[in-house]
Amino acid sequence: MRKDSRLSRMLHVLIHMDRLGGPATSERIAKMLSTNPVVVRRTMAGLREQGYVTSVKGHGGGWSLAMPLHKISLLDIHNALGESSVFTIGLSDEYTHCPIEQAVNKAIKDVLIEAESLLLERFGEVSLDVLAEGFVDLPAPSFDEGKGY
């Protein structure tokens, strides 16, 4: 089943952005992610709406962090990306008034809710500055020269 790696990739980008002097263009970020500027804009738009990044048009423009990394958690970015569910597991809806289907779906749903709660809680506990720790002086060659890093 298809995976959504936007969270991982956006976190990676945000931490590199934190080291950049100025804004990063969609073009530049797209090269880093081996993708395409429009896809970057699409994805970053969600983060901008929630106030984590800002975008500036025109010459010298691009994307910038709107707050320090320690104020951003994995949960924040996860939510900003707006993916409905974290699970590939879904419930059937063929016979919604069959009591057996109801019992089956309730059992599965209860477990999914519990597991998702734990996951979101843990995501909320990790802020991006912690992930960036220990690499403070590291440049970001991937930003400048494609797959160098």
Partner DNA sequence: TTTCATGTAACTTATGATGTTTCTTAAATT
Partner DNA sequence: AATTTAAGAAACATCATAAGTTACATGAAA
The answer for residues whose C-beta is within 8 angstroms of residue 90's C-beta and 6 or more apart is: none
User: Which residues lie across from 24 on neighbouring strands?
Assistant: 63
Q: From the list a second copy, DNA, none, pick the one residue 134 interacts with, judged by a Cβ distance below 5 to 8 Å according to partner type.
A: a second copy
| Contact status: 147 vs a second copy (CB under 8 A) | yes
**Residue 1 vs 21, nearer CB to a second copy:** 1
**Residue 15 vs 65, nearer CB to a second copy:** 15
Residue written as tokens 């020269």?
145
26-85 binders of DNA (CB under 7 A): 26-27, 34-39, 41-42, 44-45, 48, 55-63
Q: Residues 76, 50: contact at Cβ < 8 Å? A: yes
Burial of 41 (0-12, 13-18, 19+ CB in 10 A): middle
How many chain residues touch DNA (CB under 7 A)? Answer: 30
Q: Footprint of DNA on this chain (CB under 7 A)?
A: 1-2, 4-6, 23-27, 34-39, 41-42, 44-45, 48, 55-63
